[in-house]
Structure 1
């Protein structure tokens, strides 16, 4: 089924390019979700659909429509899945999982499927991969790597729109604290440790 989902996503995205939110991101989220669901449970048909369609409407980070991306993706997914004959109850579960995956939306994942999808997507924001995606997005928005004089914001306010490294404290390390399942929390530990080690190493290299 994921071939049909990928085809629809690529159709909607068209020529748009976002290195942090590409087909490989969708595939990795699905792979993580399968690992989590193998222990935590959940309907894999629902989880698969939500994993592949959760970013189908993907405005740039600095677009005013970005705040509505999850809701717009959920609405598109609902129409697409209805056209493919998915049962209404399952579609509703997919819709909730997509709406709840967004960190900024602040929605509580109320179903097992939503918890699995949310956790899988948030694991992508952690570890070496999370670091790579963070700097990619910051570059897209014209941000600097870090504040040269005060990289850890010891004497200034954090500003992750201006500095990629600030995003670690503003959001990414907080993401690990929001994971729903014990399986995802265990998976996150190594990733978080690596991010902190990377941050420390980076600061040691840029000291002047």
Structure 2
């Protein structure tokens, strides 16, 4: 019998991944997705495979080769899983296609959404936000954090995801408060 997770990792190792959506990100999202699924329910294999494959097209989006990594990644993942005869390939594809949305009516997709959001929180999440090259200054990063990242806990879809987010957001809040103090002290 084919070990699908092993085959997914073999596939992932062949890809050139985006710097902020690398194998570490994929593993953290998968870890969080499994934790949430164990508490909230849902099909663990669908959640696991969707988390492992959710950003396989991200580098192509960043490089301007495609418009939507979620939709393209969903198609690539479904094709890959169909070749392995995985019976829930279309469910995994739905989760991947939906992972940039706020919410769906499918538990497994909501778990992936929450797990992906969690990787924007805590110390690693903060580092990932600051590594993004779209924002050119500290002030732009702070503005992004205040407008997007600080809202993550209230926008979580699962109770487990929200509980984890509320713990991890403390690091972000502390960072924003302290960096604003440093900036203020620099200009005074």
TM over 0.5: yes
Contact 2:121 2:165 in 1 (8 A): yes
Moved over 3 A (4+): 59-67
Contact 1:116 1:181 in 2 (8 A): yes
Residues of 2 paired with 1:9 and 1:134: CA distance? 23
- SS of 1:108's partner is coil
1:145 maps to which residue?
A: 138
- SS of 2:76's partner is helix
Q: When the two structures are aligned, how many residues end up with a matched partner?
A: 182
Contact 1:34 1:44 in 2 (8 A): yes
**CA distances 1:166-194 after superposition (whole Å, capped 9, x unpaired):** 21123212232221101110111121222
Contact 1:6 1:23 in 2 (8 A): no
TM-score (norm 1): 0.80
Q: 1:38 to 1:73 in 2, by over 3 A?
A: same
Q: 1:127 to 1:96 in 2, by over 3 A?
A: same
Which residue, out of 158, 172, 176, partners 1:195? 172
Residues of 2 paired with 1:65 and 1:187: CA distance? 35
Residues of 2 paired with 1:72 and 1:193: CA distance? 34
Residues of 2 paired with 1:30 and 1:77: CA distance? 15
**CA distances 1:114-165 after superposition (whole Å, capped 9, x unpaired):** 1111111111111222111000113xx462222xxxxxxxxxxxxxxxx222
Q: 1:190 to 1:165 in 2, by over 3 A?
A: same
Q: CA RMSD in A?
A: 1.9
